Amino acid sequence: MGLKVVKHEARSFYREIQAKQIETNKLQNEFTISSTQAGLASGGPYNLILSDVYYFDLQRVVEWSSVLRFWSEKSEIGETPGVFSEDVICIPSTATLRGKAVEFTNFHKQFAEVSVPHIDLTTFNSAMSSVSPLTVHPLWMYPFTPLSETVDILQFDFSKSSATDEYVRKDIECTKEGTLHAVALWVDYALGPNHHISTAPEPDDSPSWKRQAVWMLPYPYSTISLPTSVDASCRLDGYDSKIELDFEIS
């Protein structure tokens, strides 16, 4: 029996591109594109579920949003009896949200209050201070110094039928002296027992397509008086497939 692949793609623009690729390479007998979850479910049973772990939307979304969307769609499709074989393999098998405390060289300056002689910018600065502290950036472009070891914050196990509510608190302890500006966040993936890939910043700051999330703390904090820690709290809403994060200096 030959390999049969069914690709789920809800967006018409990408379906047209992928359909053209399939036609050009004469793979119509091996590949099918489904625009709906119902259409995907009707093609089972499937022995392998494969997600693009490097998927990013056109917007600057945090990586774990794509992780939770994949898990949610897998759960919805799995509600159809017989859609997955009993020994179905899921790749990735797990994912882990990780983070570390960092000191930036210049990146943090864009969040500082703006001042211009003889002009009152109180309203502008107040509005900017209400902006979400969580943003997405390719950190190789912004030099930084890690002030802590990497900490595992939350793990996602895709062998489970669906995400469930979970609340965790982790302590990110600073082990180096410096000025604490933010917490860098990313997701690592297990493709199997011995195969892992990471979207962590490159250790040598070399150029990379990878993007990480940055949670800016409300003010810089000196870690000269060690120990200094960041209290990380993470709440997973399994029903809505959302994560709420908060970081406070403790």
pLDDT of residue 56: 55
Buried b / exposed e across 196-234, counting CB within 10 Å, b at 16+? eeebbbeeeeeeeebbbbbbbbeeebebeeeebbbebeb
For residue 1, give the 3-state DSSP assignment. Answer: coil
- The number of domains in the chain is 2
pLDDT of residue 1: 47
State the CB neighbour count (10 A cutoff) for residue 190. 19
pTM more than 0.75 = yes
Question: Is the domain of 81 the same as that of 107?
Answer: no
Question: Is the domain of 147 the same as that of 187?
Answer: yes
The encoded tokens of residue 233 equal 């709290």
Question: Is the domain of 20 the same as that of 84?
Answer: yes
CATH of the domain at 245: 2.70.160.11
Question: Which of 39, 73, 91 is the last residue in one of the domains?
Answer: 91
pLDDT in tens, the chain (250 residues): 467 788 888 778 888 988 998 999 998 888 888 887 777 777 778 888 888 766 655 556 788 888 888 888 888 888 888 888 888 889 999 999 999 999 999 988 887 778 888 888 888 877 777 678 899 988 999 999 999 999 999 999 998 888 899 999 999 999 999 999 999 999 999 998 889 989 998 877 778 888 899 999 988 888 877 778 999 999 999 888 899 999 998 8
Q: Nearest CA to 49 among 84, 4, 18?
A: 84
Question: Is the domain of 175 the same as that of 212?
Answer: yes
Question: Is the domain of 86 the same as that of 99?
Answer: no
CATH of the domain at 79: 3.40.50.150
Question: Is the domain of 100 the same as that of 195?
Answer: yes
Determine the residue type at 148. Answer: S
Count of positions (residues) in the chain: 250
Pairing label, strands 134-137, 179-192: unpaired
pLDDT tens readout for residues 127-171: 777 678 899 988 999 999 999 999 999 999 998 888 899 999 999
Say which residues have a Cβ less than 8 Å from residue 59's Cβ, sequence separation at least 6: none
The encoded tokens of residue 90 equal 């899921």
Domain that holds residue 118: 94-249
Question: Is the domain of 65 the same as that of 117?
Answer: no
Question: Is the domain of 232 the same as that of 204?
Answer: yes
